Amino acid sequence: MKISILIPVYNEFRTLPQVLDRVRRAPLPPGCEREIIVVDDGSPDGTAALLAAAAAPCGPGGPGGAVVAHAAPRNRGKGAALRAGLALATGAVIVVQDGDLEYDPADYPALVAPILAGRADVVYGSRFLAGPPAGMARANRLANRILTAAANVLYAARLSDEATAYKAFRAPVLRRLDLRANRFGFCPEVTAKLRRLGYAIHEVPIRYSPRGIAEGKKIRPRDGVAALAILLACRLLPRRACLAPQPQAARPAAQRLRALP
């Protein structure tokens, strides 16, 4: 089974080589191969050139997996980068990986195990199941509690960490969703629309090494406010609005001919 690892990056020139090395070396369950898709979201710091050099595919089943690089012409945000990566992914399972060093790819086996075992369609890696993560800023912890509580109340989600970056999906499930948020709104939007469509979200504990703004962390207070607004707005959507539009089937040739002037 192929696992596609989507890595959206913006100005991660300093950390990306280490991230790619860890992702390439991370263990996977037996019988799995990896596909690494890195989307540069319009970085002006040289990340795109770094990716062009890194995109050397290995053979299927190789220790590093195939690396696909995509450079967006302008910065649009994490959600837009993930949609671009999803369009390129060919794996049966999709894993989201941030382009910094906060999350540990050694947790991949735990993250995808419930999906491979047929016990889950969606798995979130929780930073709180094993206790509060050391070093997380108080403001970030408070924002996480508010967003998690909102998701649980609005969607009966029963989560401990709604805003985690570590998420894994069966690819067809993720592709069912009509995802539109561009910045960090991907997390609340995907949670809300999954729950609106009746999907259970399984959680597993993961490791977490928080970083601050000085180390390149990009999420800001306004993103927390936007995330809460997305959770509220998606609750008011009709269920059908959570589904990705389906392409219309081609009409029979006779009908097409009659439609011509």
Q: Is the pLDDT of residue 84 over 50?
A: yes
Residue 254 lies in a domain: no
Residue 96 lies in a domain: yes
Q: How confident is the model at residue 258 (pLDDT cuts 50, 70, 90)?
A: very low
pLDDT tens, 8-52?
A: 998 888 888 899 999 999 999 999 999 999 999 988 888 888 887
Mean pLDDT of 73-88: 93
**CATH number of 215's domain:** 3.90.550.10
Residue 250 lies in a domain: no
Residue 261 lies in a domain: no
pLDDT at 48: 81
Q: What is the pTM of this model?
A: 0.88
Q: Name which of 59-68, 161-170, 220-229 the model is least confident about.
A: 59-68
State the total domains in the chain.
1
pLDDT at 217: 62
* Average pLDDT of the residues of the chain: 87
Contact 63, 31 (CB under 8 A): no
Residue 30 lies in a domain: yes
pLDDT tens, 225-246?
A: 999 999 999 999 999 999 999 7
Q: Name which of 100-114, 117-131, 133-147, 180-194 the model is least confident about.
A: 133-147
Q: How confident is the model at residue 4 (pLDDT cuts 50, 70, 90)?
A: very high
Whole domain around residue 22: which residue ranges? 2-243
Residue 129 lies in a domain: yes
pLDDT tens, 161-193?
A: 999 999 999 999 999 999 999 988 999 999 999
Residue 256 lies in a domain: no
Q: How confident is the model at residue 215 (pLDDT cuts 50, 70, 90)?
A: low
pLDDT at 218: 63
Residue 76 lies in a domain: yes
pLDDT at 189: 98
Q: How confident is the model at residue 99 (pLDDT cuts 50, 70, 90)?
A: confident
